């Protein structure tokens, strides 16, 4: 049946090109009729870091909850995506993509060829699967599938996590039916031109999808899992799924001070785990007659926390130290946890985390630039946030930033 839809679409296109009338199927009417005979089939496209992958899975889970018969397929690339979607029980196919880099690299020469391969892969995969809609999380992986979907008359929905959209979503928005946004300020990038020309705005504010298991950790079980005390304040440090070198360095510089006052859960990233562990082991040995036992008792180091373990960590945490990725911020807001945000600098990014952090700062989060991190500032800011009156105020204010039904709202629109 799916291929009848393609034939209908092609015949409709021929009708536009020929000078004389031609009898053809009404594509939109045909597709609507056929869609009513079966459950929706949705293609989910993404890849890269956890900030793109986990919201994609959150939407997939919301779709399954809303319609148990929905058919889903994830399209993307990268080992992180493959592992995450496999763990979530989602079918998966890979597609090549040409990434635009901000620095010179050998891979820059290969990007056009990867993009061409990705186009033809997308052409075939979408022809065979023929979804009712395609939902993307932006990023360079999503560009070719989105344009191919347009060729097949498949509606494209994309989600922009950051307050200022990236290049990929600016491109995808040209063929998208709807752009879901996390921040209210993002809508202006997808609105009509100031002179009134152009199509109506495509943006719908929904927030950033958050996986439910991140918000439902059992504190009593988590205290046993981390071997922590219930009456001692706990700090969670995370640089995202890939870690953050400068944050790791700052925590190591502050470690002796931190463990004397707090319990610390530290997700440092797979690539930096061995280096961080070596330094921690050295500190523990050097302070074996003083602060060493406190490090052993009050500090837990992990290369990466899966969603279930992160949910447990969130449940025992009082203060979160994090990067400025949108996924991190919306998880923090959903929990109502006061936070210290250390965004990635413009020397290593397009500045999106700084823009996100500045928006989050309006809701009470502390923002510290990488260049200004010192052990004194970190410890001092934690102590100030833990002052009972301020803690309650910041917690309540941060929670107003949350949009806990983002995934469900996206799923509802995709299933219409």
* 304, 265 Cβ separation under 8 angstroms: no
pLDDT single digits (tens) 311-367? 999 999 999 999 999 999 999 999 999 999 999 887 777 889 999 999 999 999 999
Report yes or no on 21 lying in a domain: no
Do 194 and 236 reside in the same domain of the chain?
A: no
241 is in an annotated binding site: yes
Our count of domains for the chain comes to 2
Torsion angles phi and psi, residue 337, rounded to 5: -95, 130
353 is in an annotated binding site: yes
Q: How confident is the model at residue 151 (pLDDT cuts 50, 70, 90)?
A: very high
pLDDT surpasses 70 at 193: no
The domain spanning residue 337 has which CATH number?
A: 3.40.50.2000
Do 189 and 260 reside in the same domain of the chain?
A: no
51 is in an annotated binding site: yes
Do 269 and 183 reside in the same domain of the chain?
A: no
Do 198 and 245 reside in the same domain of the chain?
A: no
Report yes or no on 240 lying in a domain: yes
Average pLDDT along the chain: 88
Supply the range of the domain harboring residue 146. Answer: 39-205
Q: Looking at 205, 227, 252, which one is the last position of a domain?
A: 205
49 is in an annotated binding site: yes
Burial of residue 24, with CB atoms counted within 10 A of its CB: 0-12 exposed, 13-18 middle, 19 or more buried: middle
Do 171 and 280 reside in the same domain of the chain?
A: no
> Sheet of 299-302: strands edge to edge?
299-302, 263-267, 234-238, 319-322, 339-341, 366-367
Report yes or no on 382 lying in a domain: yes
pLDDT at residue 13, as a whole number = 38
Do 220 and 185 reside in the same domain of the chain?
A: no
Torsion angles phi and psi, residue 25, rounded to 5: -70, 145
Report yes or no on 9 lying in a domain: no
pLDDT at residue 39, as a whole number = 83
Do 140 and 233 reside in the same domain of the chain?
A: no
Do 135 and 155 reside in the same domain of the chain?
A: yes
pLDDT surpasses 50 at 24: no
Report yes or no on 415 lying in a domain: no
Do 394 and 259 reside in the same domain of the chain?
A: yes
Predicted TM-score of the model (pTM): 0.85
Alpha carbon distance 194, 300 (integer Å): 53
Do 183 and 229 reside in the same domain of the chain?
A: no
Q: Looking at 205, 222, 244, which one is the last position of a domain?
A: 205
Report yes or no on 16 lying in a domain: no
Q: Which of 118, 123, 139 is nearest to 55 (CA)?
A: 139
Do 147 and 240 reside in the same domain of the chain?
A: no
Task: Give the torsion sign (CA, 30, 32, 38, 43).
Answer: positive
* 264, 234 Cβ separation under 8 angstroms: yes
pLDDT single digits (tens) 55-103? 999 999 999 999 999 999 999 998 889 999 999 999 999 999 866 655 5
Contact partners, residue 299, CB within 8 Å, separation at least 6? 255, 258, 259, 263, 264, 266, 280
Q: Looking at 205, 228, 259, which one is the last position of a domain?
A: 205
Report yes or no on 414 lying in a domain: no
pLDDT surpasses 50 at 155: yes
Judged by DSSP in three states, 275 sits in helix
Do 196 and 274 reside in the same domain of the chain?
A: no
pLDDT surpasses 60 at 25: no
């Amino acid at each position: 049946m799916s291929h009848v839809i393609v034939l209908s679409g092609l015949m409709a296109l021929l009708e536009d090109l020929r000078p004389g009338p031609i009898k053809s199927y009404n594509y939109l009417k045909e597709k609507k009729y056929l869609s009513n005979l079966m459950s929706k089939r949705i293609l989910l496209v993404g890849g890269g870091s956890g900030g793109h992958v986990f919201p994609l899975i959150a939407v997939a889970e919301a779709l399954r909850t809303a319609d148990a018969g929905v058919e889903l397929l994830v399209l993307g690339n990268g080992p992180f995506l493959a592992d995450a979607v496999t763990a979530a029980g989602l079918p998966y196919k890979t597609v090549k993509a040409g990434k635009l880099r901000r620095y010179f690299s050998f891979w820059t020469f290969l990007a056009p060829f990867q993009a061409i391969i990705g186009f033809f892969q997308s052409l075939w995969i979408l022809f065979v699967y023929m979804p009712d809609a395609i939902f993307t999380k932006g990023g360079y992986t999503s560009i070719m599938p989105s344009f191919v979907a347009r060729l097949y008359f498949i509606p494209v929905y994309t989600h922009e996590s950051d307050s200022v959209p990236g290049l990929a979503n600016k491109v995808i928005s040209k063929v998208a039916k709807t752009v879901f946004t996390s921040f209210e300020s993002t809508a202006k990038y997808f609105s009509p031109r100031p002179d009134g020309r152009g199509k109506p705005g495509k943006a719908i504010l929904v927030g950033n999808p958050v996986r439910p298991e991140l918000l439902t950790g059992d504190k009593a079980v988590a205290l046993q899992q981390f071997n922590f005390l219930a009456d001692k304040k706990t700090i969670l440090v995370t640089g995202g799924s890939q870690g953050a070198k400068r944050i790791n360095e700052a925590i190591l510089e502050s470690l002796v001070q931190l463990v004397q006052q707090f319990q610390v859960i530290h997700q440092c990233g797979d690539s930096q785990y061995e280096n961080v562990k070596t330094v921690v082991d050295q500190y523990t040995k050097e302070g074996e007659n003083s602060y060493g036992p406190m490090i052993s008792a009050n500090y837990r180091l992990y290369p990466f926390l899966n969603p279930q373990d992160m949910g447990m960590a969130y449940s025992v945490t009082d203060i979160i130290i994090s990067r400025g990725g949108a996924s991190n911020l919306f998880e923090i807001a959903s929990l109502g946890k006061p936070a210290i945000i250390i965004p990635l600098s413009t020397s290593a990014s397009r500045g999106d985390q700084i823009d996100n952090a500045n928006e989050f700062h309006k809701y009470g989060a502390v923002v510290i630039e990488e260049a200004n991190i010192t052990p004194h500032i970190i410890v001092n800011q934690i102590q100030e946030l833990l002052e009972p009156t301020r803690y309650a105020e910041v917690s309540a204010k941060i929670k107003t930033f949350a949009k806990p039904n983002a995934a469900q709202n996206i799923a509802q629109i995709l299933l219409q």
